[in-house]
Structures are given as C-alpha cells and as structure tokens.
Amino acid sequence: MERRRFIKNIGLAGAGMLAGSYLLSSCQEKSMGFPIKNWVWITPEANLPMDTWKERFEELKKLGMHGAIVQVYASHHAMYGSDFLPVTEPLLEKLIVLGKETGVEVHAWMWTMPNNNPYYIENHPEFYAVNGLGQPSHTHPAYVGYYRFMCPNQPGVRDFIVRNVQTLASMEGLDGIHFDYIRLPDVIIAEALQPVYNIVQDREYPEYDYCYCQVCRDMFREQSGIDPLKDLEDPSASEQWRDFRYHSVTRLVNQHLIPAARVNGKKVTAAVFPNWESVRQQWSQWDMDAYFPMLYHNFYNASLGWIGENLATQIAALKNPVPVYSGLFLPSLTPEELLEATEISLQAGASGTALFALNHLSDYHKTTILNNLSNK
Ligand SMILES: [Zn+2]
C-alpha cells in the first residue's frame, strides 16, 4: 500500500474510534478491511487438569479473545502425538476439542529453527548454523544455552521441520500453525537486552552472525563467485551476503513450511520481529495468512507511540495485504497502558492484538478489560 493512502486510512480509523476502546468483541468491526480479532499466547504448565483449561478458555471468551496460541513444541518435546519426537502429554488434542466447545480458536505454536533435542545434537551436528568465527550453534550458542539454531539451507533441517509441521497439519480440528523462532539468531539483540548480557553491539560482530556453514558458503559462492568467509574482509558490509541470508529463510518459509502447513484449511501465522533485519527475517516477503510482530517496546527502550510507528511501517511493506496483530508485552504494560497500546495499534492498522502471555494477564488487567467491554 502506498504510504499516502495508508496515512489517509489511519485518519479514517481514528475518526471512527472511541478513545479507550479496547478489545472489540465483535468480528463485525474491521481494520484495514480485516475483521478485528484478539489473541493470547499461552505457555502451558505440565499436566494441568482439563477443568482448569476449560475455565481458562471460558474466561478468554468473556475477555473478548478469539484465539489461543498454545506453545506445544519448544525445540525438544512435543505436547501432541508425534512419531519421531519425545512426547510429554497429548495436550494439543484435548485443547482442540475444548476450543470447539468454547468457541476459541486453537493454534499450535511451534519453535522453528532452534533444536535442543539431544538426539539431533549428537547425531546431526551438520544441522546447526555456524557463526562468522566458524563456531556451530550447538556447541557455542549465542547469548543463551538454548540458542541452538539450525541452518535454513541444510536439506536435513528442512526435512526435519517439515515433518514436524506435517504432524501438526494432519491434526483434525486444529485451526492453525503458528511459527516462532523462524529466523537466524539475533546478530544484534534488542537495545535494552544488551546490558543484560553485558555486551555492546554497536555493529554486527562475527560471533553473533550466521550462517557460515559449508552449505551456505557454497550456495553463495555459486551465486556470486564470493566465499563470504575468505573473500569478504567485512561480511557485515556486504548487501549481497545479507540478502542471501534473508532469502535463505524466506525460501524455507514460502517453498517448504507454508505448503506443508496450509492443508485442511489450517491458517499459517508467525511471531515476527519489528527489527527484522537483525534476525534476517524479511517477513514482508512471506506468504502467510497473518503476522504477529512482537512489539515489545520496553526491549527497545521505546515509548508506546513506537508501537504504532513500527506497525505502520511493517504493514506498508507487506508484499501481500494480510492481517497484522499487534504483539504486546504484558509484563511492561499497566492495564491503562494496555488500553492505550491497543488503541495505538488499531489506529496504525493492526487487526487486533496478541497478548504475551496468559500467565502475565493479572486480575487487574482482566477487570480493566471487562469494564472496558461493558462500557461499549
Ligand atoms: Zn548454513
């Protein structure tokens, strides 16, 4: 969409919207032509009674939530039947049934590129992405121990992820598959997190820069005649090499993961970065049904206004116009700020919000949302 037209649309949306309106419970309300929907990310506790889940889903419905995005695979165990991954409990199957009973969409949230399954670490070291110093992520993960990212260009990696996606896609009644960590490691992490790790990233440094495995180097050399490790004095300065990494992730997403996921009416969505360049995640070029940018303003030392500015930029850049839901970080939002961030998001063209995460949704947040709904 052209920027001018977009700004005009913001103006129209703003004029028609009551200040402080929060979760719009009706799908008849529209933003940028899409029905407004609200979502919550859920990181499930183990072995919770189904009665508790039922109470939760019924409460979500009352709070104006349309969908639950449930983390059922976090790079090791599956919380659903799988013929090749270790299974903890078949939670997803039960939640699908509950979702139909309560009218809450259930989407399977899966980690994509990290792989912390000891079997693969031991038997498939070639799966793992390699940094600019030649260190593979399974032995030298960046920042945190679980940053064992796989390489998007290794055929075995593609087959592994596709197999997991196919398992989920075959589940009857599941509404969608939600991809997370569908990227390379952060070559530069968010500004507010750098002091946490006691680092200063004023430029791209090789220990955080991926992937320099032999497969990636060979592929790039065939395209460009350049070996990024041997021939580039400063690989971070090469636009061509940067684009190659963007395209590597995009190719995996568009040519393999989306076709595997989009069967039997499944919706395909992803949690994505507002500063996508830093994680080689050019999601504006992907073919998904919706995006959930994680607009965690506090990670970037930004104000609430930044949420709207970033949304406007990302929505304008999309190759295909699809709904974008504003991912909001509850631990950094008072209930009043949550209402304000929601308002800002809708005015910037978001088709609703996604709250991170259910366990941070306090009683105070819930009361504020309910009061706001009843005032409409
Ligand atoms: Zn590679």
- Per-residue pLDDT, 19: 33
Distance 274 CA to ligand 1 centre (A): 24
- Per-residue pLDDT, 227: 98
Distance 298 CA to ligand 1 centre (A): 32
Distance 221 CA to ligand 1 centre (A): 13
Distance 222 CA to ligand 1 centre (A): 14
Instruction: Provide CB contacts within 8 A for 3, sequence distance 6+.
Output: 316
Distance 126 CA to ligand 1 centre (A): 9
Distance 246 CA to ligand 1 centre (A): 12
Distance 285 CA to ligand 1 centre (A): 21
Distance 217 CA to ligand 1 centre (A): 7
Distance 99 CA to ligand 1 centre (A): 39
Distance 215 CA to ligand 1 centre (A): 5
Q: What is the DSSP string of 80-116?
A: S--SSS-BS--HHHHHHHHHHHHT-EEEEEEE-SB--
Distance 134 CA to ligand 1 centre (A): 11
- Per-residue pLDDT, 184: 98
Distance 113 CA to ligand 1 centre (A): 12
Distance 170 CA to ligand 1 centre (A): 29
Spatial distance between the Cα atoms of 69 and 92, rounded to a whole number of angstroms: 11
Tens of pLDDT, residue by residue, the chain (376 residues)? 333 333 333 333 332 333 334 454 444 477 778 999 999 999 999 999 999 999 999 999 999 999 999 999 999 999 999 999 999 999 999 999 999 999 999 999 999 999 999 999 999 999 999 999 999 999 999 999 999 999 999 999 999 999 999 999 999 999 999 999 999 999 999 999 999 999 999 999 999 999 999 999 999 999 999 999 999 999 999 999 999 999 999 999 999 999 999 998 999 999 999 999 999 999 999 999 999 999 999 999 999 999 999 999 999 999 999 999 999 999 999 999 999 999 999 999 999 999 999 999 999 999 999 999 888 6
- Per-residue pLDDT, 31: 77
Distance 230 CA to ligand 1 centre (A): 15
Distance 151 CA to ligand 1 centre (A): 4
Cα first-last separation, the chain: 31
Distance 235 CA to ligand 1 centre (A): 15
Domains belonging to the chain, first-starting first, are 3-374 (3.20.20.80)
- Per-residue pLDDT, 16: 30
Spatial distance between the Cα atoms of 149 and 165, rounded to a whole number of angstroms: 17
Distance 77 CA to ligand 1 centre (A): 24
Q: Is the pTM of this model over 0.85?
A: yes
Nearest of 364, 373, 370, 292 to residue 329 by alpha carbon: 292
Q: Which residues surround ligand 1, an ion (CB under 5 A)?
A: 151, 153, 211, 213, 216
Distance 119 CA to ligand 1 centre (A): 20
Spatial distance between the Cα atoms of 295 and 311, rounded to a whole number of angstroms: 8
Distance 256 CA to ligand 1 centre (A): 17
Distance 276 CA to ligand 1 centre (A): 19
- Per-residue pLDDT, 8: 33
Distance 130 CA to ligand 1 centre (A): 6
Distance 79 CA to ligand 1 centre (A): 29
CA contacts within 13 A on the Cβ side of 41: 25
Nearest of 340, 346, 272 to residue 303 by alpha carbon: 340
Burial class (CB in 10 A: 0-12, 13-18, 19+), 136: buried
Distance 180 CA to ligand 1 centre (A): 19
Backbone angles phi, psi at 267, to 5 degrees: -85, 145
Distance 200 CA to ligand 1 centre (A): 26
Distance 129 CA to ligand 1 centre (A): 5
